[in-house]
Structure 1
Amino acid sequence: MQVLNRPWGAMHYRVDGPAKAPTVVFANSLGTDLRLWDPLLAEMPEICAIRFDKRGHGLSDRAGDYQVADLADDAAALIEHLGTGPVVFVGLSIGGMIAQALAARRPDLLSAVVLSNTAVKMGTAESWAQRIAAIEGAGIASIADTIMERWFAAPFRARPELALWRNMVVRTLASGYIDACHALAATDLTEGTRGLDLPVLVIAGDQDGSSPPELVRATADLIAGAGFETIADAGHLPCVEQPAAYAAILRSFLKEHAA
């Protein structure tokens, strides 16, 4: 296991794949750890993949109050620590918001960005407050089944491995999850994302209950020259449900834009 010491504590990260291969950094969604990308990376042994657990998730320390911009600074620190820039940065959900903030703040570290199942603003202050109240009142387990319905299409929810993804959510540190909810509630990246000037690919799942395709498409429409792809039969985590299709889209983008 590898760790980067940040002012707020220990950030867990992992590097897989050939050192001289194209380097891709992956940022996870809310309620997941870096294992989110396991199904995809099994399809893409040709890349050097860098993954990390954001604050309060996985094996990383909790940091208390923060903003999405602070998560982007963590990602920048990791890229600089490893000396791998410029990289292609792939972010999903809140990871996609990290990608947007990083691209606006530190474009020198990036050759291209993939924004997956994300938007410039996700949810409302009211919806996040309701989720926080539910967790504070009855724990993450009380909303886990609803999360599974938003994350996955019906065929995947019938598979035995759904239990593993539910367990990942339920075992997330409640305080760490809530910290991220507060950050999401306070974030609107419209202006910074509108001004991005690097290659961007935006990916949606056609059955995403957390970031519907039309919301994801609206973010793509803000960015000059951004590509847009929809993955069929996939919800909020298409890298899990449809890893081969996701890999094909990402591989094509990397051929053109990976350093």
Structure 2
Amino acid sequence: MSVRVDPAMVPAALVDLTLRVGDPARDLVSLAEGNTSTVQDGELVVKASGARMDRASAGDFVVVDVDTAARVLADPRTTQDELSALLSVADDPRGRRASIETLVHVAAVHAGGATWVAHTHPTALVGLLSVEEGERLWQAPLFPDEAVVVGRPAWVGYEEPGLALGRAVAAAITDHADRYGTPPRLVLLGNHGIVALGRSPEEVEAVTTMAVKAARTRLIAHAVGRPRYLDAAGGDALASRADEVARRALLAGETV
């Protein structure tokens, strides 16, 4: 699996998305946490390891072949040490390398059909994902826009970043698609963070933003009393309504 630096392959929209979600005021990531990616001509352009999102430029991304990376992900013989070596950029004076979380993006693209991905660590969400009841807290939406924009999230219990996490995310996305007929727009990573999947930078940013609101709403609801969840099937029905589908498309930057 070759990894290279090619600033000409990095679209301005990816840099802009990275700067927006990396803004410290939004509390979605700290320091060099998180990463963003998009697919360009069958290749994954993903933020390099150790690069800060709030200072990103085209030189802070690397390019990975999606199909080759997917084969590495699926090959049970691949070891973590081998993966670490494969993520390095050969002869790069800056020592750039693909993030250890690159396989999460590969899973979102290959298993989930996403063309844009944003992986972040919002404090409010990480807190809710770090308790024993974490998965149960997301059993159903609490308010209509959560159902429409976020939908049913997929859940992944804590896995070590790298091969284990990438494989678990791929399995969760596949299971979600089999169960509900469509891949998730949000994957919740226990004790870790979130992955937003979409077809545009606007869509993954919208999913991320609404997921944070959903987390804060849960915190307030639990502080005041016993949360009253919406019916999960009812949330699915609302999200499938023609007017809400059109509104979700507009939020994703699509022309309706």
Question: Do both share a fold (TM > 0.5)?
Answer: no
Q: Which has the larger radius of gyration?
A: 2
Q: TM-score if structure 2 supplies the norm length? A: 0.27
Q: TM-score if structure 1 supplies the norm length? A: 0.26
